[in-house]
Amino acid sequence: MKKIWSLLLITIFAMPVAGFADPKVDFNAKCAKCHRTNKNILKQAKLLNVHPEKLTLRTSKMTRDEMIAITEKGKDKMPGFEKDLTRQQIEDIIEYILALKNRSVPPGR
């Protein structure tokens, strides 16, 4: 019985943390401050002195790869997140955003 518990604990703790990642949680933690709802976008755009279209994900014409690159490296006033998120987390967030965009649901909801 002791061996079974030991094996179970080793298996649980050996799993990568990213395996438990949730793109909605990651989006809300890292992206929603600037990219959540229209009301927030207008307020944030004014604060950052950028056009609201730069913060709007629902009408973005960027490709998936462009979104991944900007999320990793940053662009203009947006910081890069390659030190805070794994490549897989970034890809999952972008897939989450694109899925919501296709459903016309504001990200973060």
Q: What is the pTM of this model?
A: 0.72
Q: Find the CATH number of the domain harbouring 90.
A: 1.10.760.10
* Domain coverage including residue 40: 22-103
Please compute the mean of the pLDDT values over residues 42-65 and round it to a whole number.
88
Best CA proximity match to 19, nearest among 90, 72, 81, 89: 89
76 pLDDT more than 70: yes
**Residue 40 contacts residue 106 (beta carbons within 8 Å):** no
Q: Which of 70, 77, 42 is nearest to 56 (CA)?
A: 42
Virtual torsion, Cα 38, 104, 91, 62, nearest 10 deg = -70
pLDDT (tens digit, 9 = 90+) per residue, 22-44? 999 999 999 988 887 666 788 88
Whether 15 is in a domain gets the answer no
Residue 14 falls within a domain, yes or no?
Answer: no
In a domain, 53, yes or no: yes
For residue 4, what pLDDT band results from cuts at 50, 70 and 90? low
97 in any annotated domain: yes
**Total domains present in the chain:** 1
pLDDT band at 58 (very low <50, low <70, confident <90, very high): confident
| Domain assignment present for 79 | yes
Domain assignment of residue 4, yes or no? no
Residue 105 confidence (pLDDT):
55
List residues bridging with 1 in a β-sheet: none
pLDDT band at 71; cut points 50, 70, 90:
very high
Residue 7, domain member (yes or no): no
**Is 16 a domain residue?**
no
